[in-house]
Amino acid sequence: MSSVSTIASGALFAGGAPLKLQFMLRLAMPEHLRVARRAALFVAVAWLPLLVLNAVQGHAHVSSFLLDFGSWARLVAAGPLLIAAEAACIFVLGSIARRFFEMKFVLSSDERRFLAAIDTTTRWRDAAIVEIAIAVLAFAISTVAVGVVPTAEVALWHRVAIGEATLSPAGWWHTLVSLPLLLMLLLGALWRLVVWTRFLVLVARLDLVLVPVHPDKAAGIGFVGYSVRGFGLVGAAFGALVAGTVAEQVVHHGAKLADFKYLVGSLVVVTVVLFTAPLLAFTPKLLALWRSGTRSYGELANVFGRRFEQEWFGGKPMRRDDLLDRGDFSAATDLYQVVDRLQDLCMAPVDLRSVVMLVLATLLPFVPVVLALLPLDVVVSTLVGLLR
């Protein structure tokens, strides 16, 4: 597929680890990602065998597994969310990249560099070395975690018996299959963020046709801020991973929900910073545009203001019946409104609504945790009060 057809179809980010491998296995296609089918397959491979293996081990193991909120959060919530996030990112990021091409932001003299940026983005996206590195890193993290986490802090179903270091069959499956699959999805999402950031850096270096007084207060590229919405489901997956850990500590270890307020707050801050940071690629260009625009529009405002005062207060008598026929005041108002808009030019195309949506998506997995910890009578009375 050529560079032009790639960006015109919105498929610039349709690939990469581990999605490229799924294309090869025919589990998904670039034109049809089969999100629901792959999410169900992930649960069937990563979670269901654990249930079967623990059932074989006995009642104590299966009870321990079913009451392990962390495993529910990781394998039933976070995994499918990351699979859905792939489709969301591909659509949103691809649409934003296409707008640069369709709306002629790139000058004709720089079009070759823009197409080269598309080519290199595609190569980075599908780099075989990255796929191998992600798979190796996922297995390494999973294997190391087995020896790092103290035996006393691990749920019974991971081990053959309480206090023993020997992994149970379910523990081996979790270490060699379930957790690596989840980590590959997570690392793949982070790699897509790296590729997206690099693409924005390359575009920001081009000679772009920007309007410093554009109504979006971002010189016309405010739509780039919508990319944060594409990562909303990744934020929800992050929230699910932390929410599962919090629920585990509160329910099984007697911790208080308030003890984790700083952890949750840090999660929100890190998530917002992580997915808005790529937008800073345009800060140098927008800052230079603000400086040049302030100078140009400031000079225009000065010239107009002097002529306006000379016209009205230069000593020339004016007929009062001419006041309503003159457009001077209207022109002055329009011009100075344009100049004021320039002063509001943002130094990064951040969309506040998109950031709020990301925050809400990150916090959403904590809602079931809070509701589960509230007394039943409080929940019922609150719902009754809302229905009245």
How far is 81 from 183, CA to CA, in rounded Å? Answer: 13
**pTM for this model (two decimals):** 0.88
Q: Could you read off the pLDDT of 109-155 as tens digits, one per residue?
A: 888 999 999 999 999 999 999 999 999 999 999 999 888 877 667 88
- Residue 157, pLDDT > 50, answer yes
pLDDT of residue 230: 95
Calculate the alpha carbon distances from 215 to 108, 223, 270, 283, 293 in Å.
25, 12, 30, 18, 15
Is residue 211 within 8 Å of 105, Cβ to Cβ? no
Per DSSP, helices labelled H in 126-231 are: 128-148, 169-173, 179-204, 227-230
Counting residues of the chain whose pLDDT is more than 70, the rounded percentage is: 87
Same domain, 200 and 118: yes
Same domain, 160 and 306: no
Same domain, 270 and 368: yes
Q: How many domains are contained in the chain?
A: 2
- Residue 324, pLDDT > 50, answer no
Question: Which of 12-21, 153-162, 280-289, 333-342 holds the top average pLDDT?
Answer: 280-289
Compute the half-sphere exposure of residue 301: CA atoms within 13 Å on the CB side of its CA.
16
**Would you put residue 254 in left (φ > 0), alpha (ψ -120 to 50) or beta?**
left
Is residue 361 within 8 Å of 232, Cβ to Cβ? yes
Same domain, 254 and 136: yes
Residue corresponding to tokens 């801020």: 225
Q: Which range marks the domain in which residue 118 is found?
A: 3-281+350-387
Higher-confidence residue of 83 and 308: namely: 83
Provide the token pair at 368.
């079931």
Q: Could you read off the pLDDT of 185-242 as tens digits, one per residue?
A: 999 999 999 999 999 999 999 989 898 888 888 999 999 999 999 999 999 999 999 9
- Residue 323, pLDDT > 70, answer no
Higher-confidence residue of 140 and 158: namely: 140
Residue 316 pLDDT class (50, 70, 90 cuts):
low
Same domain, 200 and 334: no
**Final residue in a domain of this structure, among 343, 358, 374:** 343
Is residue 239 within 8 Å of 362, Cβ to Cβ? yes
